[in-house]
């Protein structure tokens, strides 16, 4: 599923705070969602419900850690040229892999981009091959050559 734009007018203050304050720095504890809930003045069940609903609606793709490249397992950026009429189904297929962190549409011949993180290079290669087979298109494999840190956290609402 391609990520969808979120209309801030449809979100509660709690939902806005959760998205804003926890783009980074999830608590490193055995109860991270309970810790978040306590900080936000709500319950763990409510935090989990909000995150689940937003994931189901396509507003967020995943909640979890992002490791520096080559610190744990293997990863790659990849892209594929998908016929426009197949984009939603291929994006949903790609999102179905646990190894896919996120995917997104770009206005380019290579219109579907995604990041794969797996325990090892063999699994990365298997996922790429499965996506190629499903899409019927060659996948451009773009392994990391030089690491640049780009902080993608930013205030969503003031």
Does the structure show a pLDDT above 90 at 62? no
| Average pLDDT estimate for 70-77 | 80
Residue ranges covered by each domain of the chain: 9-56, 74-142
pLDDT for residue 73: 82
What pTM, to 2 d.p., does this model score? 0.60
The H or E element that residue 79 is part of is: strand 74-80
d(CA 20, CA 78): 28
- Helix, strand, coil shares of the chain, percent, nearest 5, are 40, 15, 45
Does the structure show a pLDDT above 50 at 1? no
Q: Which residues contact 103 (CB under 8 A, 6 or more apart)?
A: 2, 61, 91, 94, 95, 112, 113, 114, 115
Mean predicted lDDT score pLDDT of the chain: 86
Q: First vs last Cα of the chain: how many Å apart?
A: 28
pLDDT for residue 58: 77
Does the structure show a pLDDT above 70 at 114? yes
143 band by pLDDT with thresholds 50, 70 and 90: confident
For residue range 5-17, list pLDDT tens digits in order: 667 788 899 998 9
Q: If you count them, how many residues does the chain have?
A: 158
pLDDT for residue 35: 96
For residue range 26-55, list pLDDT tens digits in order: 888 999 999 999 999 999 999 999 999 988
d(CA 65, CA 58): 19
The string over 81-91, giving b where at least 16 C-beta atoms fall within 10 Å of a residue's C-beta and e elsewhere, is ebeeeeeeebb
d(CA 37, CA 35): 5
The pairing of beta strand 139-142 with beta strand 100-105: unpaired
User: What fold characterizes domain 74-142?
Assistant: Alpha-Beta Plaits (3.30.70)
């Amino acid at each position: 599923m391609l990520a969808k734009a979120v209309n801030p007018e449809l979100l509660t203050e709690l939902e806005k705070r959760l998205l804003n304050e926890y783009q980074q720095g999830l608590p490193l504890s055995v109860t991270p969602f309970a810790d978040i809930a306590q900080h936000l003045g709500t319950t763990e069940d409510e935090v989990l419900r909000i995150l689940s609903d937003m994931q189901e609606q396509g507003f967020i793709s995943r909640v979890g850690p992002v490791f520096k490249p080559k610190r744990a397992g293997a990863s790659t950026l990849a892209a594929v040229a998908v016929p426009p009429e197949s984009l939603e189904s291929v994006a949903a297929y790609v999102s179905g892999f646990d190894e896919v962190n996120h995917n997104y549409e770009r206005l380019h011949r290579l219109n579907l981009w995604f990041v794969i993180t797996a325990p090892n290079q063999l699994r990365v290669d298997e996922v790429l091959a499965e996506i190629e087979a499903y899409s019927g298109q060659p996948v451009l494999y773009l392994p990391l050559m030089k690491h640049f840190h780009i902080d993608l956290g930013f205030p969503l609402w003031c």
